[in-house]
């Protein structure tokens, strides 16, 4: 299966072309996207990437896309492009949360299988996106995702003693200042390649969405709105 993966959730983004077979994946190429110009870059970069590898859009078998959390504008650009391509080509889509990618990096050798972990991603403004995930044999399952202040995350870790997976030094430093740094697991920052790799696992598990179902996970709400989990799964 040839997967085109897109991540436009942050200040910088990326596109990846990944070939997937059984338990292995091979990255043909990953292309960085400059922040602030996703709408102008995305389609031309996809066309150039395919042409460079002697491929056409019809050679793509599926799409994997990061649905957030992140920039409202950036996510809309990426999702709109994937929605249009999937509708035209009639190819399947799988969606991936960046917090899910972070949690998936907590290896069984580091954290016991079926253990709950917290995935944390710096949200700016002294806030952090936090996902609570249960680790499984193949991929993590979401319990809830929240937007917290850094001190609220430290308080949550203090009460629960849950491991925290994060790619961000700012999160680690905040937990260090609060004395809650013993359970930190530093992981790689998610990108289009990691979105494709986890997306492949989700495809194999039958987890697909239609273009009509495709939506973003913003998490951050208006300042006046009370923070609360945006979704919960059993």
The average pLDDT across 102-117 equals 75
Separation between Cα atoms, residue 155 and residue 164, nearest integer Å: 12
Kindly report, residue by residue over 75-92, the tens digit of the pLDDT.
999 999 999 999 999 999
Domain with CATH 3.30.420.40 in the chain: 2-97+190-213
Burial pattern 98-125, b for ≥16 Cβ within 10 A else e, equals bbbbbbbbbeeeebeeeebbbbbbbbee
Q: What share of the chain in percent tops pLDDT 90?
A: 65
Residue 168 pLDDT > 80: yes
Separation between Cα atoms, residue 69 and residue 134, nearest integer Å: 18
Kindly report, residue by residue over 43-53, the tens digit of the pLDDT.
999 999 999 99
Residue 107 pLDDT > 80: no
Fold of 2-97+190-213: Nucleotidyltransferase; domain 5 (3.30.420)
Residue 223 pLDDT > 50: no
Residue 110 pLDDT > 60: no
Q: What is the pLDDT of residue 23?
A: 82
* Mean pLDDT of the chain, nearest integer: 87
The average pLDDT across 193-220 equals 90
Please, which pLDDT band fits residue 30 given cuts at 50, 70 and 90? very high
> Nearest to residue 208, comparing CAs of 8, 65, 74, 88?
65
Fold of 98-186: Nucleotidyltransferase; domain 5 (3.30.420)
Residue 230 pLDDT > 50: no
Q: What tokens were used for 166?
A: 């994060």
Please, which pLDDT band fits residue 113 given cuts at 50, 70 and 90? low
Q: What is the pLDDT of residue 220?
A: 61
Domain with CATH 3.30.420.200 in the chain: 98-186
């Amino acid at each position: 299966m040839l997967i085109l993966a897109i991540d436009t959730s942050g200040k910088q983004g990326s596109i990846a072309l990944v070939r997937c077979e059984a338990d292995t994946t091979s990255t043909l190429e990953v292309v960085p996207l400059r922040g602030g110009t996703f709408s102008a870059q995305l389609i031309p970069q996809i066309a150039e990437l395919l042409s460079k590898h002697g491929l056409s859009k019809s050679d793509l078998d599926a799409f994997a896309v990061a649905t957030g959390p992140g920039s409202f504008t950036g996510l809309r650009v990426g999702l709109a492009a994937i929605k249009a391509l999937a509708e035209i080509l009639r190819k399947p889509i799988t969606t991936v949360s960046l917090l899910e990618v972070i949690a998936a990096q907590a290896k069984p050798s580091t954290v016991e299988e079926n253990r709950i972990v917290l995935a944390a991603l710096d949200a700016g403004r002294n806030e952090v996106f936090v996902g609570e995930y249960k680790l499984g044999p193949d991929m993590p399952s979401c319990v809830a995702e929240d937007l917290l202040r850094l001190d609220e995350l430290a308080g949550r870790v203090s009460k629960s003693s849950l491991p925290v997976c994060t790619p961000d030094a700012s999160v680690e430093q905040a937990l260090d200042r609060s004395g809650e740094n013993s359970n930190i697991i530093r992981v790689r920052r998610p990108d289009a390649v990691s979105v494709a790799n986890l997306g492949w696992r989700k495809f194999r598990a039958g987890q697909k969405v239609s273009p009509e179902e495709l939506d973003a996970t913003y998490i951050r709400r208006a300042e006046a709105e009370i923070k609360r989990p945006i979704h919960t799964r059993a």
